[in-house]
Amino acid sequence: MEKKLTVNGVEICYELQRKKVKNINVRIRADSKIIVSADRRVPVESIEAVLTANADKLIKAANKLAEARRRRICPVEYADGERIVVFGNIYTLRILHSSKPQVYTDGSCLVIGVKDPSDASARAALTDKWLREQILDAAEQACRRVYPYFESKGVSFPAIRVRRMTSQWGNCRPREGVVTFNTRLAAMPHSLIDYVAAHELCHFLHPDHSRLFYAALSECMPDWQARKKQLSDSVC
């Protein structure tokens, strides 16, 4: 449910989601949209009182995300000369004619070989397919790097999946033994993908974000807080 609230002359738009939750939860997605979840019994007046009390912080955070999106390095048309970030490295796109579709790195360039270099949809589809393959492999390697800790706790190595997500870097289904990574992680350094792997695998030990969960995460990855901050500051 889309709603609006005006605080000190500034209009705040937010999406209200009614869920079975104990508290009024407020988060901001990477696209700057404010999401509020609250139990059906909680009146809108109480929800908007929380938003009003935190209006300055919410507006500042939303503006920061919007500015980061404007400054991000991401191809628009996948055209020759555009730039793209792959695992923290900046590459310039080179579009070439090729009888066999191919994508590969060549020094500071990411080469996209397509049959028809003028076909923008073909350029984008081929690059996205390549990036998906890269993050799938990187996610598996990240899980393998942190897995020894979880293996010692009796956790089986998970099945790895990737998909585009709007508000999470990763999620997991411990019962099914599956960890899913956001395809946008293809832009992030491997150290941050390792953090996502460690975080999700910790849920195989502790399903919530309890004290025991963070104790396990700290034991597995002592610098997880610095990595989390770096990832939180990244918008791609």
**What does the pLDDT look like over 100-132, one tens digit per residue?**
999 999 989 999 999 999 999 999 999 999 999
In this predicted structure, what is the pLDDT of residue 233?
A: 74
Work out the angle at residue 121's Cα, subtended by the Cα atoms of residues 183 and 133, and round it to the nearest 5 degrees: 30
CA separation (Å) from 146 to 2, 29, 149?
40, 27, 6
Look over the chain and give the mean of its residue pLDDT values, rounded to a whole number: 92
Q: How confident is the model at residue 67 (pLDDT cuts 50, 70, 90)?
A: low
pLDDT single digits (tens) 132-171: 999 999 999 999 999 999 999 999 999 999 999 888 999 9
Distance of CA 199 to the CA centre of its chain: 13
Q: How confident is the model at residue 194 (pLDDT cuts 50, 70, 90)?
A: very high
Instruction: Catalogue all structural domains in the chain, each as residue range(s) with its CATH number.
Output: 2-71 (no CATH), 83-131 (no CATH), 138-232 (3.30.2010.10)
* Cα radius of gyration (the chain): 21
The pLDDT of residue 60: 87
**Encoded tokens for 64:** 């920061």
Report whether pLDDT(70) > 80.
Answer: no
* Model pLDDT for residues 22-62, shown as the tens digit of each residue: 999 999 886 778 999 999 999 999 999 999 999 999 988 88
Q: What is the pLDDT of residue 186?
A: 96
Cα 104 to Cα 92: distance, rounded to the nearest angstrom:
12
Beta strands 2-7 and 10-18 are antiparallel
Say whether 82 sits in a helix, a strand or coil.
coil
Amino acid at 81: G
